[in-house]
C-alpha cells in the first residue's frame, strides 16, 4: 500500500466555496489526506472567488508564490478551482505554466479523473457546464464525525443578472438539487454529528427542487421537511433575493421552530434610481414592506444585508437614500462594498463615481451599520438565549458557540459539550462576541 498523498486546499470567498472544498477533498477519497500547509502538500488546490476586485490578479500572485514549491517537491501538482478558474479558463495555464489543473465549479465531479491525468504528467482543464448531477457523482465516502454546524448546497447559479455581478457568468444558470437528495444528505450529516445546517445557494430562496413523486418543493417546503429530522436542531439559509421571498417562506419563519431568527437579505442600495440601473427589479419601498411582513411573522428576527456604494452614477441623494433605508431596517449585520468594475458585466461600461467620494460614502455607511450592530448586540445583555456549542474557548471551563441570532457567544461556566444546545444568560457584550453564563 502506498502512503496517501497530501492535499492542501485554500478556500476563498463565500460559504459555497467552503462546501465545495469539502466535497472536493472527499471526492479525492483515500488517496489523499488533508494538510494545513502548502509547503508539505503533493496537491495544492486554490478554490477561488471572483466577486472581489482584482480577484484574478490576486490568484496569479498567489500562484507565483507557490511555484517555487515545485522545485522542492517534484510530485507537487497545482490546481485552480472556483469562479476565477471558470472566468479565466486556459488563460491561467498560459500565464502560469506551473498550474497543472483548472476546474470550474460545475465540473468538480470530474476532479478525480483530472487528478489521474495530471499524475501522468499531463495538464487538465474543464470549465464546462455539464448536464450531470455533480453532487451525486461527488458523493464522498467519508463517514467521519463532523462539526456541529455544516453547510449544505441546495441551489446554485443565478438568473438575475444584476448589472454589477459576475455570478451568473461564473456559476451559470439557476439549478436546484432534487429535494430527496438534499434530505438524504441532511440525514447523513445529522448521523455524523451535525446539529445545524445552513442551506446554501446563490439564490437559495429561488429553490425549486423535485420532491418525492415529482412534487415541486419550494424552499419553504424543503425547510419544513428538513425540520422533521430528529437530532437536527437548527436550520438557516443564505443568500436570498428579495423578489423570491414568498409568503410560504415568510410564514415558515413564524412557524418552524428550528428555523433560526436571522435572515441575510441583500438590498444593495436604497435608491430606486440606482436599483433600477442595477437591474435589481425591486424598489426600496417594496424591500421595506417585505421586511415588515417578515417581522410580523417573526418579530425578533435579526436582519443582515449587502450594500454597494459608489455604483456608477450614484449621486449624494442616492447615497442618502441608502443611509435612510439602513436607519429604517437597522441591520444586525451588514456587508458593504465599494463598487468595482467586473469586466463583461453591463455596469462595466458606465462612468465611475469619484474614488474619494465613494470612499467617504463607504466610511459613513459602515459607521452607521457598526453603530446598529453594537446596539443590537448590547440589547442582548440580560436576555436568555440558546447557544449551539461549537468548540472550547481559550479559558478553562469556557465554551464557544452561536446564538440563534448568529452572535458568537462565550459561555464562561460551561458544563455543556460540543454539539449541545444550551440555555444561557447574556452578561456582557464585547465588540465581536457576547459573554454568557449557562443557566
Q: Of these, 58, 117, 160, 273, which contacts ligand SF4 (CB under 6 A)?
A: 160
Q: In which residue are the cell numbers 444528505 written? A: 185
**Which residue intervals of 171-241 are DSSP H helices?**
179-191, 219-226
Backbone angles phi, psi at 388, to 5 degrees: -90, 115
Residues near 146 by beta carbon (within 8 Å), at least 6 away in sequence: 189, 192, 193, 194
Minimum distance, C-beta of residue 407 to ligand 5AD, in the bound complex (Å): 21
- Residue 368 vs residues 72, 258, 323, 324: alpha-carbon distances, Å: 50, 31, 8, 10
- 339 interacts with ligand 5AD by CB under 6 A: yes
Q: Is 167 in the site for ligand SF4 (CB under 6 A)?
A: yes
135-143, 271-279, 338-346, 359-367 -> range binding ligand 5AD (CB under 6 A): 338-346
Q: Using CB distances below 5 to 8 A depending on partner kind, what does residue 51 bind out of ligand 5AD, ligand SF4, none? A: ligand 5AD
Tell me whether residue 34 or residue 306 sits nearer to ligand 5AD (CB atom): 306
Contact predicate 204/219, CB 8 Å: yes
21 neighbors 47 (Cβ within 8 angstroms): yes
Find the shortest distance in angstroms from Cβ 209 to ligand SF4: 18
H or E element in which residue 372 lies? helix 355-378
- Using CA atoms of 288, 294, 300, 301 in order, give the dihedral in degrees to the nearest 10: -80
Contacts to ligand SF4 from residues 314-373, by CB under 6 A: none
Identify whether the C-beta of residue 246 lies closer than 8 Å to the C-beta of residue 217: no
Q: 242 is in the binding site of which of ligand 5AD, ligand SF4, none (Cβ under 5 to 8 A by kind)?
A: none
Size of site (CB under 6 A) for ligand SF4: 10
Stretch that binds ligand SF4, among 32-40, 165-173, 319-327, 396-404 (CB under 6 A): 165-173
Give CA–CA dist 359/365, Å, rounded.
10
Instruction: Round to whole Å and give the CA distance between 242 and 244.
Output: 6
* Minimum CB distance to ligand SF4 smaller for 162 or for 235: 162
> Is residue 169 involved in binding ligand 5AD (CB under 6 A)?
no
Do residues 44 and 72 touch, judged by C-beta distance below 8 A?
Answer: no
Which one of ligand 5AD, ligand SF4, none is in contact with 241 (Cβ closer than 5 to 8 A by kind)? Answer: ligand SF4
Q: Applying CB under 6 A, which of residues 77, 110, 241, 361 lies at the interface with ligand SF4?
A: 241
Coil/strand/helix, residue 81: strand
For residues 259 and 119, what is the distance between their CA atoms, to the nearest angstrom? 45
CB of 52 to ligand 5AD, least distance (A): 8
Applying CB under 6 A, does 164 fall inside the site for ligand 5AD?
Answer: yes
> Footprint of ligand 5AD on residues 222-281 (CB under 6 A)?
266, 268
Cell representation of residue 213:
413523486
Residues 362-401, one symbol each (x = binds ligand SF4 by CB under 6 A, - = not), give ----------------------------------------
> Do 128 and 106 contact (CB within 8 A), yes or no?
yes
Q: Tell me whether strands 408-411 and 399-403 are parallel, antiparallel or unpaired.
A: antiparallel
**Near ligand 5AD in 35-94, by CB under 6 A:** 51
User: How close are the terminal C-alpha atoms of the chain, in Å?
Assistant: 52
| Out of 165, 186, 232, 265, the residue judged to bind ligand 5AD by CB under 6 A | 165
165 touches ligand SF4 (CB under 6 A):
yes
Q: Which is nearer to ligand 5AD, 306 or 360 (CB)?
A: 306
Contact between 27 and ligand 5AD (CB under 6 A)?
A: no
Q: How far is the CB of 160 from ligand 5AD (least distance, A)?
A: 11
The number of CA neighbours under 13 Å toward the Cβ of 103 is: 28
Binding positions for ligand 5AD, rule: CB under 6 A? 51, 164-165, 266, 268, 306, 308, 337, 339-340, 342
Binding positions for ligand SF4, rule: CB under 6 A? 158, 160-162, 165, 167-168, 202-203, 241
Amino acid at each position: 500500500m502506498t502512503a496517501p498523498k497530501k492535499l492542501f486546499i485554500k478556500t476563498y470567498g463565500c460559504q459555497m466555496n467552503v462546501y465545495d472544498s469539502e466535497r472536493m477533498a472527499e471526492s479525492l477519497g483515500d488517496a489523499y489526506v488533508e494538510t494545513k500547509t502548502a509547503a508539505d502538500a503533493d496537491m495544492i488546490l486554490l478554490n477561488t472567488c471572483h466577486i472581489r476586485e482584482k480577484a484574478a490578479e490576486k490568484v496569479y500572485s498567489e500562484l507565483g508564490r507557490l511555484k517555487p514549491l515545485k522545485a522542492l517537491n517534484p510530485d507537487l501538482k497545482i490546481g485552480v478551482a472556483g469562479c476565477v478558474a471558470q472566468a479565466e479558463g486556459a488563460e491561467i495555464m498560459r500565464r502560469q505554466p506551473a498550474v497543472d489543473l483548472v476546474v470550474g465549479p460545475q465540473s468538480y465531479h470530474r476532479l478525480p479523473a483530472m487528478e489521474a491525468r495530471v499524475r501522468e504528467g499531463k495538464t487538465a482543464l474543464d470549465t464546462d457546464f455539464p448536464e450531470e448531477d455533480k453532487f451525486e457523482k461527488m458523493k464522498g465516502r467519508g463517514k467521519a464525525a463532523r462539526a456541529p454546524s455544516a453547510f449544505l448546497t441546495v441551489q446554485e447559479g443565478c438568473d438575475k443578472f444584476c448589472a454589477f455581478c459576475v455570478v451568473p457568468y461564473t456559476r451559470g444558470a439557476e439549478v436546484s438539487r432534487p429535494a430527496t437528495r438534499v434530505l438524504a444528505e441532511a440525514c447523513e450529516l445529522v448521523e455524523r454529528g451535525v446539529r445545524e445546517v445552513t442551506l446554501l445557494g446563490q439564490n437559495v430562496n429561488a429553490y425549486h427542487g423535485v420532491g418525492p413523486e415529482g412534487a415541486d418543493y419550494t424552499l419553504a417546503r424543503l425547510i419544513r421537511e428538513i425540520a422533521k429530522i430528529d437530532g437536527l436542531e437548527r436550520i438557516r439559509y443564505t443568500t436570498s433575493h428579495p423578489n423570491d421571498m414568498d409568503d410560504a417562506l415568510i410564514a415558515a419563519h413564524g412557524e418552524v421552530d428550528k428555523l433560526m431568527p436571522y435572515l441575510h437579505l441583500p438590498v444593495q442600495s436604497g435608491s430606486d434610481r440606482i436599483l433600477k440601473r442595477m437591474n435589481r427589479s425591486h424598489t426600496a419601498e417594496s424591500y421595506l414592506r417585505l421586511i415588515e411582513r417578515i417581522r410580523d411573522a417573526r418579530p425578533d428576527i435579526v436582519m443582515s444585508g449587502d450594500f454597494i456604494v459608489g455604483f456608477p452614477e450614484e449621486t449624494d441623494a442616492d447615497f442618502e437614500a441608502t443611509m435612510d433605508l439602513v436607519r429604517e431596517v437597522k441591520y444586525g449585520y451588514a456587508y458593504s462594498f465599494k463598487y468595482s468594475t467586473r469586466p463583461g458585466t453591463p455596469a462595466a461600461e458606465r462612468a465611475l463615481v469619484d474614488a474619494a467620494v465613494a470612499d467617504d460614502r463607504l466610511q459613513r455607511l459602515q459607521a452607521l451599520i457598526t453603530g446598529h450592530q453594537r446596539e443590537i448586540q448590547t440589547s442582548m445583555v440580560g436576555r436568555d438565549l440558546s447557544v449551539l456549542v461549537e468548540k472550547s474557548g481559550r479559558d478553562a471551563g469556557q465554551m464557544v458557540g452561536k446564538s440563534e441570532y448568529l452572535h458568537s457567544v462565550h459561555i464562561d461556566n460551561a458544563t455543556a459539550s460540543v454539539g449541545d444546545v444550551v440555555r444561557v444568560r447574556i452578561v456582557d457584550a464585547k465588540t465581536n462576541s457576547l459573554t454568557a453564563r449557562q443557566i
